[in-house]
Structure 1
Amino acid sequence: MRRAYQLLLASVMLLILAACSSDKPVHTPAATPEFTNQFSPVKAWSVSVGDGVGSYYSQLCPTVANGLVFAAARQGQLSAFNLKGQRVWQADVSDLPNAKQYIAEGSARLSGGLLAAYGMVYVGSENADLFAFDAKTGKLKWHQDMPGEVIAAPATGDDLLAVITNNGHLVTLDPQTGKIQWSITIDQPSLTLRGKAVPVISNGVVILGRSNGSVSFYSENNGQQLFNAQLAQSEGMTQLDRLVDVDSQPVLVGNDLYAISYNGSLMAVNLQNGQTSWKRSYSAYRDMALSGGELFLTDDSGHLIDLDHFTGSENWQQSTLSYRGVTAPAVAGNYVLVGDQEGYLYWISRDSGHFVAKIKVDSSGLYVAPVVTDNLIIVQTRSGRLIAFKRA
C-alpha cells in the first residue's frame, strides 16, 4: 500500500510538471524561441557522471567547493572534478561494504543533494539513506539510516546538518559523525507535490518550507517550533487546486525572509518584528535567486520573473518559455541563466529580460539550475553529462 501511495504522488507530480516525455502534457510547451545570439557560448569541457537521473523527478544538483565540482547520478555514482574538468575521484554506493542494504530496485536512488561542507560531501537517497564522503578522497566517512526518503539536500548550520524527509521528518545530525541529535515529525496534507524545500539555518533557527503552505521556524537546539508564517491556504474544487507546498528554498537576507508557495503567493517577512513586508500572487516550486536588489523566480508556468526584493514590484517578466520545463534561475553577472526540458541553455539580460544567447546542450534535457563560478557556468543533463561553459 505504501509503495502504491508513493507511486500515486510521483504520478501527480509528473502530471503537474509534465516532466515525463511519455506522458501527454497538461499544457502544450511553447515553441523554442528564435533570436540571433549576441555572442556564441563557448564550451570549456564536458564529462560523464554515470547515467544521470533519467526521466525521474530529481533535485540532485552539482555543487562547487574549494576548487572542486561534485556531481552524482541516481544509480549511485559520485564524482569530483577540478575546474578544468579532470576527474579527481569517483565513488559508487554499490561498491561500498554491505552495499546491498543501500540498493533498492537495482539502484541507490540518490536524490537529495549535493551539499559540500565540513570537508565532506553529503547526499541522500530515496532508499532513506544519508551518506557523507570525504571531499578530498571520496572515501565514505559515515552512513545514517533516515526515517524517510531524502529528496532535498541537507542544510548546514553551526556544526549541524538539517535534513527534511519526504514523509515529514525534520532531523538534525552531527556533520562529522552522522549521529542524530533530534528528530521531529511535521504534519503534512494527505496529497502533496513530490518535492521538498532545502531548509535554511540561521541564528540558531531552522527555517523550513512546508507542504501546508507555510514557513515554520524551529529551535536548532531541540526542534521546538518557534514561529509560523502562512503563505497560502488550501482551497479549491479539486485536490490539485488545494496543493500549496512551499518547495522552493526560502531566501534569507539579513532580517528579511522571502518564500513562495505553489498555488499561493510570494511573501517577504521581516524576522525582527514578524510582520509581512509585502505579498504578491505568484506560484512556484523552483528555488529563487537573489542578486543585488533583484529577486528572480521561475513560476509554475515557466515564466521567468524579475522583482525588486525591497518592494515586490515586478521589473520584467519573460513568458516565451511557457511550459518548457524551465529550471530554477541562476545569475552570472549581467545575465540570468535557465535551462529547459529540451536541453537548451539560455542567457537572458537581467536589465531587460530579453534573450541574449542560447545553446542546445543535450537533448535529454536540463532539470536543475546552472551552477555559476567565477569563470564557469556548469550544467548537468538528465543523461549524466556535466558540461562547463566559459562565462561571457
Structure 2
Amino acid sequence: MKKMYQVIVAVGLLLGLVACSSDKPVHTPAPTPEFKNQFHPQKLWEVSIGDGVGNYYSQLRPVVDDQHVYAADRAGTVAAFDLQGKRIWRNDLTDLPDSKQYTKDSSLRISGGLLAANQMIYLGTENADFFALDAATGKLKWHQSMPGEVIAAPTFSSGNLYVITNSGHLLSMDATTGRIQWNISLDQPALTLRGKAVPVVTNGIIILGRSNGSVSIFSQESGQQLFSSQLAISGGTTQLEQLVDADSQPVVVGSELYAVAYNGSLVAINLQDGQRVWRRTYSAYQDIAVSGGEIFMTDSRSHVIDVDRFSGQPKWQLSALQYRNVTAPAVDGDYVLVGDQKGYLYWINRDTGTFVSKLELDSDGLYIAPLVTENEIIIQTRSGKLIAFKRA
C-alpha cells in the first residue's frame, strides 16, 4: 500500500492494476509558487467532519441546498450545517443496526456522493452499499446493496437516481424507495483508472464518460445505449500510456456536449446530430468547468488550462503547479480556483492565467474542487476540515 500510494501522489491517479517498482516519486512536484497576494480571502467559518478521507483516493465532496451544507468522511460520519457553519445534525452510519454487514475494518468507506435531492441525502460506498438519509434529520430512510463499488456521486432526475459502479454497472433506482428499475452492465477494459464520471441526465437521456475512452448516451427510460463517441484509443508501450478513461463528468451547454479523456482528447459534440464540432488533444481525468465562452481544466500534469468553448483553441496554460496533484477547477466570477496536494488554495485570473492569491489551508492536502455557492466558497480537505470563504 505504501508503494501504491506513492504512485497516486506522483501522478494524481489510483491505478486499479498498476504496481510501483520503486519508492521514488515518478515526477517531482513543482515548488510552491511565490507571489504577493493581490487580495486576502475572508474566511467565514471552519468545522470538522470526522476524519476526512485520509490518503485514500476519493471523489467524496460536500453539497448544498437552499439552507444547508452536507458533508461526510470516509469512515461513515455524515453531517449537516447551516450556511453559518452551525451543525444541524450528525449521523455515524457505523452505529446503524446490523452495521457490521456494511462496514469493513470499522469503516463504511464512503466515496460515492454526496447528492442532495428529493429531501434526502444520497451516498454510495466502496463496500457496494447505497444509503438514503432524511435531509432534515440525517436518519436512514433506506439502504440498497449494489453490484460493485460506488465511487462517483449519483444523479437525480424525475424521481429517479442514476448510479454508475466501478464494476461498470449503470443503474436506475427509485429515489424514494431505492428499488432498482433497470441495471445494465457495460464493457470495460482490463486496465482502468480508479475513477468514474458522474452521469449527466438531460432531455430523457443519460450521458456517461466511460473507462473505454468513450462518451456514451443511454435512454433514461430503459438504459438502452443510443450513441457513443470515442475520445481516446488505447495504445502506447507503458501501462500509463494505455489508459484511456473518460472519468471527467461531461458538461452540456445548450445543444453541445463537452468531454475529455485521459491520454485522449477534449471534444465538443453537437447533440442534435451527433457530429463532432471540434477535437483537441489533451489528457485529463478531473472534471472540467465551463463558464461563458471558456472551458477550464487541469490536465494529467496538473497544468491549469483555459480553452475557447467555441473553437477549442487554447487561450492560456498555467504550468507553475506541475505535478502538484491539482484538483479540478471551479470558477468564482473573475477567478479560477484550484487546490493542490500540499494544501494550498489558489485564485487565478481567468483572463490572463496568472496567480492572484493563495492560502495554505491544510498540510494534509486538498483533493476535490472547491464548491462555489451563491455567497461562499466551501472546501473540504483530506483531514476532514470544512472551510468556507466569502466569494471574491
Question: 2:141 & 2:13 partners in 1: Cα distance?
Answer: 38
1:1-392 to 2 correspondences below 5 Å? 16-17=11-12, 24-392=24-392
Paired letter, 2:65: A
Question: 2:81 & 2:349 partners in 1: Cα distance?
Answer: 30
Paired letter, 1:347: W
Deviation, structure 1 residue 15? 5.7
Paired letter, 2:92: D
Paired letter, 2:313: S
Please list every run of at least 4 consecutive aligned residues from structure 1 whose deviation after the TM superposition is greater than 6 angstroms.
7-12
Q: RMSD in angstroms over aligned alpha carbons?
A: 1.9
Paired letter, 1:228: S
**SS at the partner of 2:264?**
coil
Distance 1:11 1:234, change over 3 A: farther
For structure 1, the 5+ residue unaligned runs are: none
Deviation, structure 1 residue 240? 1.9
Question: 1:124 & 1:84 partners in 2: Cα distance?
Answer: 27
- String of CA shifts for 1:354-383, please: whole Å, max 9, x gaps: 100000001010000000112211101100
**SS at the partner of 1:226?**
strand
Distance 1:243 1:12, change over 3 A: farther
How many residue pairs align between the two structures? Answer: 386
Question: 1:316 & 1:126 partners in 2: Cα distance?
Answer: 38
Contact 2:43-2:389 at 8 Å conserved across structures: yes
For structure 2, the 5+ residue unaligned runs are: 16-21
**SS at the partner of 1:94?**
helix
**SS at the partner of 2:100?**
helix
Question: 1:157 & 1:9 partners in 2: Cα distance?
Answer: 37
Question: 2:136 & 2:181 partners in 1: Cα distance?
Answer: 26
Contact 1:41-1:390 at 8 Å conserved across structures: yes
Contact 1:18-1:25 at 8 Å conserved across structures: no
Task: Compute the TM-score of the two structures, normalised by the length of structure 2.
Answer: 0.95
Contact 2:284-2:300 at 8 Å conserved across structures: yes
Question: 1:284 & 1:129 partners in 2: Cα distance?
Answer: 29
Contact 2:154-2:198 at 8 Å conserved across structures: yes
**SS at the partner of 2:212?**
coil
Paired letter, 2:384: G
**SS at the partner of 1:342?**
coil
Question: 1:19 & 1:290 partners in 2: Cα distance?
Answer: 26
